[in-house]
Amino acid sequence: MSAQAPNDIAVAAQELTRVFGSFTAVDRVSFAVRRGEIFGFLGPNGAGKTTTIKMLTGLLAPSSGRGSVAGYDIGAQSEMVKRNIGYMSQLFSLYADLTVEENIAFFSGLYHVPREKRAARRDWVLEVAGLTDRRTRLTGELPLGIKQRLALGCAVLHEPPILFLDEPTSGVDPLSRRRFWDLIYTLTAGGTTVFVSTHYMEEAEYCHRLALMNRGKLIALDAPARLRAAATEPLFELKTDDSLKTVKLLQRMAGVREAAMYGRAVHVAVADRAQARAEIPRRLKQEGVALHGMDEIAPSLEDVFVFRVREAGGAPVD
């Protein structure tokens, strides 16, 4: 747990666990999120991200362990937790057959926004979503990216101190994702704490700190730059005429820690730099694979993610 004073902690988990029958979805996860922080949850499907978020938001009771959100116990004070958070997922339920303005009015009532503040909050949502001139348009007719910005605006109508976002930009184009994150930065600049899970590496880079999850366990926790810096094994990028065959060959080669495809290139982490420079070209030539380039590179966050997940037993199989 963090050494920060309790009033500096927005979200805390202590040995948080959730079991479904014989399956452990979340396995003794502990962390603390500081106030005003963008805290990212990164992991493959089935890693336990959504289950953890549901426990922290009071939607699912833990099997064991403890957690607090905005100073409230997630088990004993789940209703107070819900009043002090905003929550949004990729399946956030805007009503398609209501207009933009009608959706905002509905969620203003749902979140008990004081009547004297509703007009100002409505206008703020319309502005940040870029819908000031389309307030009477049916929500179902909006492009997905704009719809998600509207959903985010509705989730924070009541100005909660903590916002949970569970893969909110899944399926959204890159430009819309960038605009969505501009809005997140606006919220954090105003003091909002943001807890976000994502599959996108560029989004993970926007977070102040990242928690890497795999098979229900927390396998790494640090700032993105520190996670990259901790990957000290030499890493090479190879360009060959057969990337798939290259990966299969290198994964069986002594001294290779990890090999994975990155577009048409192959990234390979090795134990010994000099040995790799000599042995990899020789092995590829022996197997009839043409090597067009082999350069040592700094690890990306995606490299770190792939390697850490593989070290932790690999991603869950659907």
List, in order, residues 6 or more apart from 65 with CB less than 8 Å away. Answer: 13, 14, 15, 16, 17, 28, 29
Q: How confident is the model at residue 318 (pLDDT cuts 50, 70, 90)?
A: low
Half-sphere exposure of 265 (CA within 13 A, CB side): 15
Asked if 71 contacts 235 with a C-beta cutoff of 8 angstroms, the reply is no
User: Please, where in the chain does CATH 3.40.50.300 lie?
Assistant: 6-224
Q: Report helix, strand or coil for 163.
A: strand
Tell me the C-alpha distance between 43 and 198, whole Å.
Answer: 8
Token pair in block for residue 209: 């700190």
User: Please, where in the chain does CATH 3.30.70.100 lie?
Assistant: 232-298
Q: Is the pLDDT of residue 5 over 50?
A: no
177-212 per-position pLDDT tens digit: 888 899 999 999 999 999 999 888 888 999 999 999
Token pair in block for residue 180: 């969505």
136-148 per-position pLDDT tens digit: 999 999 998 899 8
Which of these ranges, 65-79, 82-96, 132-146, has the smallest mean pLDDT?
A: 82-96
Return the CATH fold of 232-298. Answer: Alpha-Beta Plaits (3.30.70)
pLDDT score at 4: 43
Tell me the C-alpha distance between 302 and 42, whole Å.
Answer: 11
DSSP assignment of 82-115: HHTEEEEETT----TTSBHHHHHHHHHHHTT--H
pLDDT score at 315: 62
Tell me the C-alpha distance between 88 and 165, whole Å.
Answer: 5
CB atoms within 10 A of CB 156: 22
CATH of domain 6-224: 3.40.50.300
135 burial (CB, 10 Å; 0-12 / 13-18 / 19+) is middle
The mean pLDDT value for 63-73 works out to 96
Query: In this structure, which amino acid lies at residue 238?
Result: L
Measured in Å, how far apart are the chain's first and last C-alpha atoms? 32
Tell me the C-alpha distance between 243 and 284, whole Å.
Answer: 11
Distance of CA 219 to the CA centre of its chain: 14
For the chain, give the number of residues. Answer: 318
Q: How confident is the model at residue 254 (pLDDT cuts 50, 70, 90)?
A: very high
264-294 per-position pLDDT tens digit: 999 999 999 999 999 999 999 999 999 999 9
Q: What is the pTM of this model?
A: 0.86
pLDDT score at 284: 97
pLDDT score at 160: 96
The mean pLDDT value for 76-96 works out to 89
The mean pLDDT value for 148-168 works out to 93
